[in-house]
Amino acid sequence: MSSQTNLSRRRFGGLLAASFGAAGTPAWAAATQGKGKRMQQPHALIKPARLRDGDLVAIIAPGGFTDEESIAKAQRNIEALGLRASLGANIRAVHGNYAGTVQQRLDDLHAAFRDPDVKAVWAIRGGSGCISLLALLDYALIQRNPKVLIGYSDITALHLAIASQTGLVTFHGPVASSTFSEYTVTQLQNVLMMPQEQYTIPMALDNHRRAQTQPNFAIRTVHGGQATGRLTGGNLCLVSALAGTPYAADFREHILFLEEINEVPYRIDRMLCQLDLSVGFNKAAALMLGIFEHCEAADGDTALTLNDTLDQHLQPLRVPAVSGYSFGHIRHQFTLPMGILATLDADRQTLTLLEPGVC
């Protein structure tokens, strides 16, 4: 443990006494009461129960709106895993680009966590809008009813907020309407249904083959070495958007993982700069970048390549750093339990989960 961490803990006792008023109410709580704001506090890790054959999974749309084809596909995906699917009451709602109003989307998420028969909550898609839910989520309800939450892309906002406010392990993995490959299904099952005490995640062979013609699929070691830390991160746009909020990813001494889609290099550069300025990449245990899909500049543009842009941030680091791992907006992706301990071996280009994400 770093001396900085020890110093913070020694100071904490004095700061705690100063932060309570005469009535015993924390100053931060009084200041934010009724405003939907929460101060980030450390929480013990909570692991949801593993999924078993026949378990009920709630399909919800906390971000972008969906359609009948995607709903049917999501149901088929879940049933193919030996699970049962139920639909959120507002899953067909449309409010602009969103799957209903903020209240409708909140209602479905809260109902899924409140229902004792539901064992997992699976987002049907990402899109946009999850960030609007964060200040209004009932974190106490989620903490009292821990269950599997799965998704990626815009669902990153929920993952990071729930982790910071409850300590619940959630899962960065395919959305329910994804086109599942055999690799994706195997990784889901190994993490959620057949957990191991330690599990080294194999990279997808199909992604390796695509790297022959698409450089963004190539696994690259920018800085070698090994690092152990808890997993945090997700979609770069959302991780950077939450910087400076109570729901931000505090990736100090963590393995920070990032992926992106449809963002040109200069925007990726800006978001990486924001994260580095807000926390500092060298304070992370390691950086693990997934597949950045459709993130090259248009032909003819005067711009750095994607890899040149990433390397501007990765090469100066003193911690292990890799790119091209099998997660992101891609068909063949593995599932990451957020919050658990893992070891990144940049020399062997592996990631090993050191504990199961479910109990």
Q: What is the mean pLDDT of each run of 10 residues along the chain (359 residues)?
A: 39 37 34 37 87 98 98 98 98 98 98 98 97 98 98 98 98 97 97 97 93 92 97 98 97 98 95 97 98 87 90 96 96 97 97 98
The beta-strand segments (E) located in 115-265 are 118-123, 148-151, 170-172, 199-201, 220-223, 226-235, 254-261
Residue 172: is it exposed, middle or buried by C-beta count within 10 angstroms (0-12/13-18/19+)? buried
Query: H-helix or E-strand containing 29?
Result: helix 27-32
Residue 42, pLDDT score: 64
- State how far Cα 182 lies from the chain centre: 22
Closest to 65 measured CA to CA, from 155, 109, 128: 128
Assess contact for 161 and 232: CB atoms under 8 A.
no
Closest Cα partner for 189 from 324, 77, 85? 77
- pTM of the prediction? 0.87
The DSSP bridge pattern shows strands 321-323 and 148-151 to be: unpaired
Q: In this predicted structure, what is the pLDDT of residue 13?
A: 40
Tokens of 70: 């995607």
* Amino acid 2: pLDDT: 42
Q: Nearest to residue 176, comparing CAs of 323, 78, 246, 92?
A: 78
Q: What is the pLDDT of residue 300?
A: 73
* Catalytic positions: 153, 259, 329
Report how far residue 106's alpha carbon sits from residue 339's, in angstroms, rounded to the nearest whole number.
24
Alpha-carbon distance values, 74 to 122, 224, 333 (Å): 9, 39, 17
Q: One-letter amino acid identity for 184? A: T
SS3 339: coil
Closest to 314 in 3D by CA, of 260, 243, 256: 256
pLDDT in the model for residue 297:
82
Q: What is the DSSP letter of 32?
A: H
Rounded CA separation 201/332 (Å):
13
Question: How far is Cα 65 from Cα 91, in angstroms, rounded to an integer?
Answer: 8
